[in-house]
Structure formats: structure tokens, C-alpha cells
Homo-oligomer: A and B are copies of this chain.
Amino acid sequence: MAQISEIDNLDRKILSMLMQDATRAYTDIAKELQVSGGTVHVRMKKLEDLGVIKGSHLFINPNAVGYDICAFIGIYLEKGSAYQTAVTKMRQVPEIVEMHYTTGQWSMFAKIICRDTLHLREVLNEKIQAIEGVERTETFISLEESITRQVSIL
């Protein structure tokens, strides 16, 4: 794992800019940070080699492709040992976009994206609750996503 000491302020600034807009040109970043384009390139290569960079993703508006509902699901498992097989099954449910193994009342915690309430019920009843080891679920629907961003590294 990369050590924090290997990442200096310039690295952090470059990363921050690309975390907001991954397609921004290196030359443009170089201009703003008053270094050469080559330097930005060398730093990015270093950060990639260190495994700091996981990848880049294009973000779309889920509404535009017909996904209106975002919900969180707390999942109770019958026994903790069911976790590994449950995760494998959950991976096959495309509506699940995030899944965590958590402390607290639930064993697992998922974020799902659905087209409408009908679709949500279908995913809950026929997909998630049908998975072996899942005892019971609790659903929280997001009425508004007021903040979405990445961790600040500056």
C-alpha cells in the first residue's frame, strides 16, 4: 500500500482536479498549477503505479435512463456465516449499486437504484429476500440526494 509520505501537495492538487473532472487535459491542469505538462504526466504515472488511482468513471443522471428511486436496505441475516454466500448472490442483482458489511443492528447494508415503486418491490421480494440466509429487511427511500462528492484530499 502506498505511503502517505510519498504523496506531496502537487500530487494532491492534481488528484483533486481530476476527481472533479476526469477528462480535464493534463496541459490545462499544468497551466493552472504552473508546472509543465510532462510533470503532471510523471506524477499521474507514479500515482497509478502506487495504486492510489482506482479508475475513472463517467457519471450519468439515473433519471434520464428511467431510474427514479434510490433506496437503502438494512439486511438481517439468520447467521453471520451466511455472509459470503449472500454477497455472491447479491452481486448478481444489478439494482444493488453498493453493499457493506456493517456493525450495528444489520449484518449488511445495501444501496439500490430502481425504476419505480413496483420495481423496488420486485427487487426486494423476489431478489433480495429470496436469497438464502436473508431473514428480514428494512427499507429507507431517499427522497432527495442533497450531497454527493468524494473525500477531500487537500
Which one of B61, B63, B102 contacts A53 once the chains associate, using CB atoms below 8 Å? B61
Given contacts A22-B23, A58-B19, contact A147 B97 (CB under 8 A): yes
With an 8 Å Cβ cutoff, the count of chain A residues facing the other chain is 67
Nearest CB of chain B from residue A32's CB, rounded to whole Å = 16
Instruction: Find residues 118-154 in chain A having any chain B CB closer than 8 Å to their own CB.
Output: 138-153
In the bound complex, CA of A137 to CA of B60 (Å): 31
Given contacts A104-B140, A153-B65, contact A58 B58 (CB under 8 A): no
Tell me the nearest residue of chain B to A14, going by C-beta: B58
- Copies per complex of this chain: 2
Contact B147 A91 (CB under 8 A): yes
Within 8 Å CB of A51, what residues of B? 61, 64
Q: Once bound together, how far apart are the Cα atoms of A72 and B72, in whole Å?
A: 11
Q: Do the beta carbons of A100 and B146 come within 8 Å of each other?
A: yes
Residues of B within 8 A of A99 (CB): 145-148
Task: Kindly state the separation between the CA atoms of A147 and B113 in the bound complex, as whole angstroms.
Answer: 14
B residues in contact with A53, CB < 8 Å: 58-61
Q: Closest Cβ of chain B: how far from A77's Cβ, in Å?
A: 13
Contact among B56, B61, B102 for A59, CB-based, below 8 A: B56
Interface residues of A in 78-117 (CB under 8 A from B): 87, 90-91, 94-106, 109-110, 113
Interface residue? A42 (CB, 8 A): no
